[in-house]
Structure 1
């Protein structure tokens, strides 16, 4: 059996300069999760506050 011909190798002269782009820190998911640190905790805390306020302190009508 003959080996299939391998595709020609193209060397990128800028490979080392562009290596940082493939680092896991700069991947899409990581960028979005680190864009707003503490945002998830803040959303949970705010939601808990709003639900507790609405359940515990029901408005008693339309007084000013």
Structure 2
């Protein structure tokens, strides 16, 4: 036994269907607000780690003397 079709049909359903498309989801919209943010965070992290490993910490040496 199948369910009967709804008694009404929304005449605006086709015109409003674009709002449910995945491109317009909140996650996709937020991702496009900050393009390249993930790459920038990764590059900055590598820079900070490399600077701390390759250069001696001068503030510790000056505080001891």
TM-score relative to the length of structure 1 = 0.71
Q: Does 1:45 align with 2:64?
A: no
Q: What is the Cα deviation at residue 56 of structure 1?
A: 0.6
Higher helix share: 2
Structure 1 runs (4+) greater than 4 angstroms displaced: none
TM-score relative to the length of structure 2 = 0.71
* Structure 2 gap segments, 5+ residues each: none
Task: Tell me how large the CA RMSD over aligned residues is.
Answer: 2.2
Q: Does 1:55 align with 2:53?
A: yes
* Structure 1 gap segments, 5+ residues each: none
